[in-house]
Amino acid sequence: MNVRIAGVFFQQFRSYSYKPVKRVPLPPASKLEVPESTSTKNFSLREELKSRILASGPIPVASYMRQVLTNPAAGYYMTSEDVLGSKGDFVTSPEIGQIFGELVGAWCLNEWYKFGSPVPYQLVELGPGKGTMMSDILRVVGNLKATGGLSVHLVEISEHLSKVQASLLCRGCTDHKDEPFYRSGVTSSGTKVYWYRHLEDVPRVFSIILAHEFFDALPIHKFQKESDGWKEVLVDIDPNSNDKFRFVVSKAETPMLRLFLNSLPEIANGREHVEISFESEALIRQIGERFHSNGGLALIVDYGHLGEKGDTFRAFKRHKLHDPLVDPGSADLTADVDFSILNQFCERTSQVFTIGPTSQRSFLEMAGAKDRLAVLLERAKSEEEKRRLTDGFRILTEENQMGSRFKFFGLYPKELRESYLGLK
């Protein structure tokens, strides 16, 4: 199974220095989520953002996004409890059907076998959501009797989500203060599970690293081509309303704009709008270093494109589009992953080669999704269960659903490129 796989004078000054950015139109107001009354939590975050802007001027979208999602006191992932599922703001593939996680698990073991089944080995997941995918993977690993020498390491900054994951995966957990991990537990089959806030704290042994809908939430810098050259898109206070924010473009070259133009000139020459997560590059470098010193592989699964899209920054609240500048901290912020840029980040490390991206539909079909569905349907105990299985399969694989929008992207040690691909 070889799957190929961001004072009045002061307001007047900024109004003169920056100009509003035209955004991709949102749906009509009647279809947008109507903001609820601002809570104390969200009000304090908005005030903090306003204070930063008043102190130093408009801030990069990446700075805004980082605060909105991960501010310790009021960030979306730090304080929201129902972010996933029908009662939350969005639904992920593992929550739709068990086939997804099971086939990812089968892929992990298949690739592990290709490396000679090294032990010890570990499954590392970045942003594990509710733990559903890891639960499905561990069931496959257990059924195929590959748990010997295995440990699980979850990188999760949300205290609430980590507890949800622990309740699903473990029969008991312990919190820690003086260890690199802040929580540990054991699955019913005896596999040890650890929780971390940063990838760099995870032990350095052979690792299978998984990132499902993780890179789309990493802060992005937005750059827009104007008549007088490239500018960085920033977030400013709306001069017409002290309680609102607006997008503007920089008057002069910013440090991140300079970095973009110097490091990715070929991207700048061919587009009008670019979104770059430099945190993604740092993360790719970490992964490459791990591959070089300890071996491993990685699978990135996310919605994204190959460079054909421009402005994709948006927010979701209760499964509907939401203005990303309204009620910061109350909605999920996201941007499509630009896999063409991510691939360049991998090439720069000189330690990683890539396969893909390929569509979710292609990955699941090549991994045997139809055969697995047939088995599950045969075992189904009711028509309702059969309907749930077939509906989930359709959502996961059809082109107009998740089938083409989501991409699978494999990362491997550069040293193995020729032998892995069968090249001479």
Q: What is the pLDDT of residue 80?
A: 63
- Confidence at residue 243, expressed as pLDDT on a 0 to 100 scale: 76
Q: What is the pLDDT of residue 188?
A: 94
71 Cβ contact partners less than 8 Å away, ≥ 6 residues apart: 45, 48, 78, 329
pLDDT tens, per residue, the chain with 424 residues:
444 332 332 233 233 234 344 433 333 333 333 334 334 444 478 899 999 999 999 999 999 999 999 988 888 888 766 655 445 545 788 889 899 999 999 999 999 999 999 999 999 999 999 999 999 999 999 999 999 999 999 999 999 899 999 999 999 899 999 999 999 999 999 999 999 999 999 999 999 999 999 999 999 999 999 999 999 999 999 988 877 899 999 999 999 999 999 999 999 888 999 999 999 999 999 999 999 999 999 999 999 999 999 999 999 887 688 899 998 988 899 999 999 999 999 999 999 999 999 999 999 999 999 999 999 999 999 999 999 999 999 999 999 999 999 999 999 999 888 777 665 4
Contact 245, 263 (CB under 8 A): no
Between the alpha carbon of residue 338 and those of residues 201, 274, 275, 303, 322, the distances in Å are 27, 9, 8, 9, 22
Question: Residue 349 in contact with residue 281, Cβ under 8 Å?
Answer: no
Alpha helix segments (H runs only) across 7-155: 8-17, 40-56, 61-70, 76-79, 93-96, 98-114, 132-143
- Grouping H, G, I as helix, E, B as strand and the rest as coil, residue 147 is coil
Q: Which two tokens stand for residue 271?
A: 């587009």
DSSP string across 216-282: GGS--EEEEEETTEEEEEEEEE-TT-TT-EEEEE-SS--HHHHHHHHH-HHHHHH-SEEEE-HHHHH
Extents of the domains making up the chain: 38-79+221-276, 93-218+277-421
Whether the CA torsion 321, 235, 24, 255 is positive or negative: it is: negative
CATH number at 93-218+277-421: 3.40.50.12710
